[in-house]
Structure 1
Amino acid sequence: MAHNHIHIHKHEVKANNLVFSILLNLLITIAQIVGGIVSGSLALISDALHNFSDVISLVFSLVAHKLSRRKASINNTFGYKRAELIAAFINASTLVIVAFVLIYGAIERFFNPHPIQSGLVIWLAILGIVVNGLSVIFLKKDAEHNLNMKSAYLHLLTDMMASVAVLVGGLLMKFYHWFWMDSVMTILIAIYLIVVGIDLLKSSTKMLMLFTPDHIDIKEIVREVHKIPGVGKLHHIHVWHLNEEELHLEAHLDCSEDIKMTEFNDLLHNLEVVLFDKFGINHINIQPEFKKEDPKEFIVQD
């Protein structure tokens, strides 16, 4: 079975950005918990709990990032490249879980509102916006290239939005005494968490389950490969993400002629170029065949 891959330039994710974000979020979490207890604001405490879940998620993302950079070995032939996908899945799950906990608390508080020290809420919300805003800026570029970093980035982005919501609620409570806004803002924060959390959960689950990526059309791959001289039929095809940097394809290639191995190497090179240029597949594993009797379906479920 011929095995080949194309080396591509990889965006280097900076772990230092994660470390800095962890320290900032730990600081704001402590401040918001103390402030929420003193002021009596559920929205502030819920924002603090969300921040604390972010600290845990960021630490988990950092550990996964470190693991993913470990070298492969005989016992771990792929290394720990999928560690970041697991981190993204867990982080997405915590987003959804935290959201439902917040909704439960907000509904209970909505029917039993009480006066809140809005001044403290406002200042701590501003602090939350500044701290989370800085963290979002640090991780934005990494989030565009890495699902694990995207999960951490979304945690921080929703934190920043939550702090904005808490600030708006604090201002309304200060000037209009609408103390029920504390619960409303909490629910709005939670709904957004559910939306972004489920989307990230779906993406990470598809990668962990080795589903064909959404942007890949296997029939289109077959059409393009069949245009290459010397190709009989490409079949038994599987396409999946090992991680976000490596898109793999394995398949059987029925050659149109009984060619030499040196000729097959040239055919394999042409196949590799087409798959990379048109579909972004940078790692292929091909089993060559000539008039072998077996099913020639595009995909075979064993």
Structure 2
Amino acid sequence: MHDDHSESGQMTRKKFLIVTILNSLITLIEFLGGIFSGSLSLLSDAFHNLADSASVVGSYYAHRISLRPQNKKNTFGYKRAQIISAFLNSLFLIIISAVLLVEGIQKLFKPEQINGNLMLIVAVVSTVANLLSTLLLSHGSKHNLNIRATYLHLLSDTLASLGVILGAILIKTMGWLFVDPLVTILVAIYITAEAYPIIKKTVKILMQASPKIDCYEIRKDLLNIDGITGVHHVHIWSVDENSIIFSAHINMNDMLISEAEKIYDPVAKLLYDKYNIEHVTLQAEVERGKKEDLYFEKKTDI
């Protein structure tokens, strides 16, 4: 099991606790600030922060589950717990964004009176807290879809808070009440644009879609290994964003199993070094399936 305090970029207990506390405080402050100032962008940011708090808890729990070892019920382990969490977090972001977008458009045509001073104070406090939370998760977000989804929650909140600050200044100095719903609309659009790629990637992983690897190039490389005469029935998929699995039927010269095993190691080394494929399963054959296609053919994939 991985150490939570390793330098792998994974979320630690301490970071999790700090981010959760910060988000809870921000949510409470923004709810009160939004109600008393009349600012839609503050209220929308408060709802967003509430979602973030749930996201952080869910992401951390999924992270802990993903570290569980393989067992007879889950022979690939629990790595996809983080993929599911990333998918749900991003989907929730888009739903929230849609609600905020509708509300923002309505308020854009019917702006309400806003207390710019209170709006500005709350927005500054929120920005500082959100920025700290974002920095805490910035490193881990580069290597983990689950943490990245949570990081995007926090980053979008930081940007939203900066937008609220700008809006508060314009409302305070220029009296432009329309800026408040406009900021809400722009933030909702940004959040959707950031969350959609994560949803797309997580769905591909959950559907066991092939990663961006040229299987015909793999076959070419394998045929260059002495003893291999054909490759067919290739399957390649990902357990999570970092673990790629490969299986194939390979035609080999007629030989003893002990001799065939000597070919497996260079195959595994090639696939790992060149394609970052961690898990390789091969079925050795001599003539069987030699003329079949590289990929699955109906009723012949046995």
Bin of the TM-score, shorter chain as denominator length: over 0.9
Which residue matches 2:282?
286
1:188 maps to 2:186: yes
Query: Once the two structures are superposed, what CA deviation does each residue of 1:216-264 show, in whole Å capped at 9, x if it has no partner?
Result: 1111111111111111112111111111332110111111x11222222
- Give the Cα separation in 2 of the matches to 1:45 and 1:221: 53
- Distance apart, 1:294 and its partner CA: 6.5
**Number of positions where the alignment pairs a residue of Structure 1 with one of Structure 2:** 292
- Distance apart, 1:301 and its partner CA: 4.8
1:267 maps to 2:259: no
TM-score (norm 1): 0.93
Helix, strand or coil for the counterpart of 1:282?
strand
Which residue matches 2:87?
89
- Give the Cα separation in 2 of the matches to 1:109 and 1:253: 64
User: Which letter does structure 1 place at the counterpart of 2:151?
Assistant: Y
Which residue matches 1:210?
208
User: Which letter does structure 2 place at the counterpart of 1:11?
Assistant: S
- CA shift in 2, pair 1:115/1:10, >3 Å: closer
Aligned partners of 1:15 and 1:65 also within 8 Å: no
The 5 Å alignment of 1:81-230 reads 81-214=79-212, 216-230=213-227
1:249 maps to 2:270: no
- Distance apart, 1:11 and its partner CA: 2.7
Out of 239, 254, 259, the position equivalent to 1:258 is: 254
Aligned partners of 1:44 and 1:121 also within 8 Å: yes
1:276 maps to 2:272: yes
- Give the Cα separation in 2 of the matches to 1:141 and 1:159: 18
- Give the Cα separation in 1 of the matches to 2:231 and 2:263: 13
Query: Once the two structures are superposed, what CA deviation does each residue of 1:65-85 show, in whole Å capped at 9, x if it has no partner?
Result: 111111222222223221000
Identical-residue share of aligned pairs (%): 36
- Give the Cα separation in 1 of the matches to 2:217 and 2:133: 41
- Distance apart, 1:10 and its partner CA: 9.3
Single out whichever of 121-130 and 140-149 deviates more from structure 2: 121-130
- Give the Cα separation in 2 of the matches to 1:143 and 1:301: 39
Helix, strand or coil for the counterpart of 2:139?
helix
Query: Once the two structures are superposed, what CA deviation does each residue of 1:130-189 show, in whole Å capped at 9, x if it has no partner?
Result: 111111111111111111011111111111111111111111001000000001100000
Unaligned runs of 5+ in 2: 1-5
- CA shift in 2, pair 1:93/1:295, >3 Å: farther
- CA shift in 2, pair 1:143/1:292, >3 Å: same
- Give the Cα separation in 2 of the matches to 1:248 and 1:254: 20
Moved over 4 A (4+): none
Helix, strand or coil for the counterpart of 1:254?
strand
Which residue matches 1:300?
296
Out of 10, 15, 22, the position equivalent to 1:13 is: 10
Query: Once the two structures are superposed, what CA deviation does each residue of 1:105-136 show, in whole Å capped at 9, x if it has no partner?
Result: 11111121121111111111111221111111
Single out whichever of 87-96 and 245-254 deviates more from structure 2: 245-254
- CA shift in 2, pair 1:49/1:220, >3 Å: same
Out of 64, 75, 78, the position equivalent to 1:77 is: 75
Which residue matches 2:3?
none
- Give the Cα separation in 2 of the matches to 1:106 and 1:14: 34
Aligned partners of 1:19 and 1:62 also within 8 Å: no
Unaligned runs of 5+ in 1: 1-8
Which residue matches 1:3?
none
User: Which letter does structure 1 place at the counterpart of 2:29?
Assistant: A
Helix, strand or coil for the counterpart of 1:285?
strand
- Give the Cα separation in 2 of the matches to 1:233 and 1:122: 68
- Give the Cα separation in 1 of the matches to 2:118 and 2:261: 70
